[in-house]
Amino acid sequence: MSPRIVDLSSSSKLPEGHALSMVQAVHGANPFRLMALPGELLLHVLRFALIPEKRHQEDIKRFIRRGANLKLVCHKFDTAISTILHQHMHAFRLDEGLSAAAFPWHISGKFGRLFAQEIQGYWTSIHGSSWPRLPDLHAASKAVGFTKTPTIRTLSLDLRRQPTSFAHGEVAAPGGPVLGRTITTSILTRLLMAGPNLQELNLRISPDRDTVRIVEHLVCSTPGLRSLHLEVDCSGDAPPGRTVIKLQNMVEEGVTYSSLEHFVLRCPGARVECVNHPSGGPKFLDRLPYLKHFGLCATALDVDAEPLEWLAGILHHTPELRALQFAVDLLTIGSVSSDDECYGLIRLPHLTDLVIEETYADTSFLRSLDAPHLWAVRLRSRVKVETWPICRPNQFPALSMVNIWCPGVSAQRLTALGVPRWRFDYDPNLDGYHNDKHYHQQEFPAVIRPFNRPRPEPWKVSTITATMNERDTRGPAATTVATTQERDTQAPAAKRQRVTR
C-alpha cells in the first residue's frame, strides 16, 4: 500500500505559522528529503514545525489540529506525529485561568453532610455540571500504562475515588473505596517514571493522606515541571483540616528545578503547610521565580508567619505574576497585621486579577502593591471597612471590576481602594441598599468607570504544549539560557505595548 502524499508545491500559499509551511521552511518543498533523515532527527524537526505562531493562545486542541495536518504528508510523518501526540494525555479540560471578575467565593472548612450542597456548588461553578460524576479509574489505569508513562510530557487525570459517604447527586464509580484507593496508588506510582520528562501536571484527587504523600513525592521528583494544578475534593472521607498538604515536601536538596509558571492548589477541605527546613535546606519558594499564575485555596494555612506576610514574601520574588488567588478559611485564627510597612513595596507590573479572602485582610495589603494594570479585585474579610486605611488616590488606574465582602457600608469600601467618587457613583452601583449609609455584611460588586476598558486576555493554562517543543529541539542546557534570553528581549517590547494601549 503506497503512502499518502500531499503536494507541498503550493505550500507557499499557506498562512504564516501553518504546520506544513513550517516544514517547507525547515527542509524545502520536498518531503522525501525529510523522510531520509533518521527517526530521532525527524522527531526534532516535526516538534519544531508544531511550534505555534501565537503561543499565548495555544491549547491542546489547536496543537492536535496542526499535528493532524502533518500526519497527511506520508506514512513516516504519520508515525512520528503520533509519537509526539501520545506524549499528551488529558482526561478533562481546565478552566481558563483565574478570573477575579467571575469566580466562586471560598467555602468554609466546617462542613459535613449539611453543607454538601454548598460544596457541590463550589466545584460546579468552577468546572460545570460534569464535576459530580466520578471517573472510571480502571480506564485511567489502562491509559497510563508502563510503556507510555516514561514519554508523557503533559498530563491531566481525575483520580477521585468513591468516598465513604458522598454528596447527593454523585454517581458511584465501579468498585468500592478500597479498590479505588489501590488503583489510584498504582497510577501515581507509575507516573514517577515520567519525572524527568513531565512538564505539565493537572490532578484531581480525594483527601486521602497516602495519596497526598505520593503526589508530593511526584512533584518533588519532577524537576522540569512548569505547570501544576492540584485539586483535592472535599466531598467525602476526611473531616475538614485532617488532610495536610506539605509544600516543603515538593522540593529536595541537591536538585535544580525549573521555575513553575502555573501553580494552583485548591483544597477547601484540607490544610496547607509550608515551613522552612530546620537545617536551611531548599525552600518551595525556589520553584516560583517566574510564576505567572498563583492560586491557593485551603481551610487553613500553617506557615512561619502571618498568612498575608507569607504571601507578600512570595510576591516579592514573582515579578511576572499575572493572576493571584489567595483564599484561606475565614474561620482560621491568626494574628492581625494592619501595618502596610510590614509587607514592603511589592511591584507586580503584569498583575491583572487579584483575589484575597482572609480573616484579617484589608487595604493594608493592597496599599503595598504597585500594580498599574490591575483590572479586577475580589476581597473578603471580617474586618470592618471603617478601620481600613485608605489607598492612594487612583492607586489602581486600570481597575474595572470590584467585589468586596466585609462589614460596612458599600461606598466606603470603594473609597478605601482609592477609587475616585465619579468612577463609581452611578446606578446600579449605588442604590437603596448599596450607598453611603446602609450598614451590611454582604458582598458589593461594582463596575468602575470608564466602561471602555478592554479586559486583559487571560493567560491560558495549557501553554506548556506550545513551549515544550522548542525546549526539546535545543536540549535542557540550551533551554535555560534561551528562555532567559527570550524573557529579557521580550520584556521591553511588552512594556511598550502596554503603554501604548
- Domain's final residue, options 304, 328, 347: 304
CA separation for the pair 330, 309 (Å, rounded): 16
| pLDDT for residue 195 is more than 60 | yes
Residue pLDDT, tens place only, 279-290: 666 788 889 999
Bigger pLDDT: 15 or 400?
400
Q: Is the confidence at residue 313, as pLDDT, over 60? A: yes
Tell whether the model's pLDDT for residue 472 goes beyond 50: no
- Domain shared by 140 and 78, yes or no: no
Instruction: Indicate whether 80 and 131 sit together in one domain.
Output: no
Average pLDDT over the chain reads: 75
391 pLDDT above the threshold of 90:
yes
> Which CA distances in Å does 63 have to 66, 150, 201, 466, 468?
5, 21, 17, 8, 12
Helix ranges restricted to H, 4-157: 19-27, 31-35, 39-49, 60-71, 75-85, 116-127, 137-143
- On the question of pLDDT at 208 being above 50, the answer is yes
Q: Residue 104 domain-assigned?
A: no
Answer whether residue 497 shows pLDDT above 60: no
Owner of C-alpha cell 501553554:
463
Number of Cβ within 10 Å of residue 212's Cβ equals 22
User: Looking at residues 453-476, what average pLDDT do you find?
Assistant: 49
Q: How confident is the model at residue 226 (pLDDT cuts 50, 70, 90)?
A: very high
Amino acid identity at 387: T
Calculate the CA dihedral of residues 74, 78, 84, 89 and round it to 10 degrees: 150
Measured distance CA(245)–CA(258) in Å, rounded? 21
Confidence of residue 31 (pLDDT cuts 50, 70, 90): low
More reliable by pLDDT, 383 or 15 = 383
DSSP 277-304: -TT----GGGG-TT--EEEEEEEEEEES
pLDDT top residue among 163 and 449: 449
| Dihedral-angle region of residue 209 (phi above 0 means left; psi in -120 to 50 means alpha; beta otherwise) | alpha
Instruction: Note whether residue 397 is domain-resident.
Output: no
Q: C-alpha grid cell for residue 336?
A: 492581625
pLDDT, tens only, 318-367: 999 999 999 997 654 444 555 667 888 999 999 999 999 998 899 999 99
Q: Are residues 41 and 119 in the same domain?
A: no
Query: pLDDT value at position 87?
Result: 75
Q: Which of 20-34, 129-143, 316-330, 450-464 has the lowest mean pLDDT?
A: 20-34
Sequential DSSP letters for 179-202: HHHHHHHHHHHHHGGGTTT--EEE
Cell of 293: 499564575
Q: Are residues 292 and 151 in the same domain?
A: yes
Residue 160 lies in a domain: yes
Domain count, the chain: 2
The pLDDT value given to residue 35 = 66
In terms of pLDDT, which residue wins out, 127 or 469? 127
DSSP states along 2-33: PPP----TTGGGSPTT-HHHHHHHHH-S-HHH
Confidence (pTM): 0.77
Among 207-216, 291-300, 415-424, 427-436, the range scoring the smallest mean pLDDT is 427-436
pLDDT at 471: 43
**174 and 259 share a domain?**
yes
253 and 168: one domain? yes
Asked whether residue 16 falls in the same domain as residue 137, the answer is no
9-13, 14-18, 298-302, 480-484: least confident range: 480-484
The answer, yes or no, to whether residue 476 has pLDDT greater than 60, is no
pLDDT bracket for residue 389 (50, 70, 90)? very high
Of 304, 327, 359, at which residue does a domain stop?
A: 304
Task: Indicate whether 57 and 117 sit together in one domain.
Answer: no
**Residues 160, 15 share a domain:** no
| Confidence grade of residue 388 (pLDDT, cut at 50, 70, 90) | very high
φ, ψ of residue 387 to 5 degrees: the values are -95, -5
Any bridge partners for residue 301, and if so which?
272
Is 372 a domain residue? no
**CA 367 to each of CA 278, 298, 343, 346, 361: distance values in angstroms, whole numbers, following the listed order:** 33, 25, 9, 9, 12
The reported pLDDT for the residue numbered 404 is 94
Q: Are residues 75 and 175 in the same domain?
A: no
Residue 480: give the domain boundaries: 11-85+463-500
In a domain, 377, yes or no: no
The pLDDT score that the predictor gives to residue 486 is 39
Strands 154-158 and 401-405: unpaired
Identity of the amino acid at 457 = E
pLDDT at 156 over 60: yes
pLDDT at 141 over 90: no
Q: Answer whether residue 424 is part of any domain.
A: no
Q: What is the mean pLDDT of residues 21-32?
A: 51
Work out the pLDDT band at 10, boundaries 50, 70, 90. Answer: very low
Question: Is 212 a residue whose pLDDT tops 80?
Answer: yes
So what's the pLDDT on residue 287? Answer: 92
pLDDT tier for residue 469 given thresholds of 50, 70 and 90: very low
Burial 166-176 (b: 16+ CB within 10 A, else e): bbeebeebebe
Q: Are residue 189 and residue 238 in the same domain, yes or no?
A: yes
Most confident among 193-197, 254-258, 291-295 (mean pLDDT)? 291-295
Q: What's the gap between Cα 325 and its chain centre?
A: 10
Q: How far apart are CA 270 and CA 21, in angstroms?
A: 50
> What are 236-239's contacts with CB under 8 Å, separation 24+?
236/162, 236/163, 236/164, 236/165, 236/166, 236/167, 236/206, 236/207, 237/163, 237/164, 237/165, 237/177, 237/206, 237/207, 237/208, 238/207, 238/208, 238/209, 238/269, 238/270, 239/112
- Asked whether residue 493 is assigned to any structural domain, the reply reads yes
Q: Which of 11-25, 238-252, 431-445 has the highest mean pLDDT?
A: 431-445
* 8 A C-beta contact, residue 203 and residue 275: no
- Mean pLDDT, rounded, for 388-405: 93
* Band of pLDDT at residue 465, cut at 50, 70 and 90: very low
| Range of weakest confidence among 5-14, 188-197, 246-255, 261-270 | 5-14
Joined grid coordinates for residue 449 = 468607570
Give residue 143's pLDDT.
79
Judgement on whether residues 40 and 182 belong to the same structural domain of the protein: no
Instruction: Report which of 373, 365, 320 is spatially closest to residue 345, judged by C-alpha positions.
Output: 365
Calculate mean pLDDT across residues 204-225. 91
Tell me what pLDDT residue 370 has: 94
- Which residue intervals of 291-394 are DSSP H helices? 307-315, 363-367
Helices 60-71 & 19-27, crossing angle to 10 degrees? 60
- Examine the pLDDT at 487 and tell me if it is beyond 70: no
Last residue of a domain, which of 285, 304, 323?
Answer: 304
Chain centroid, CA 324 distance in Å: 9
pLDDT of residue 318: 94
Q: Is residue 67 part of a domain?
A: yes
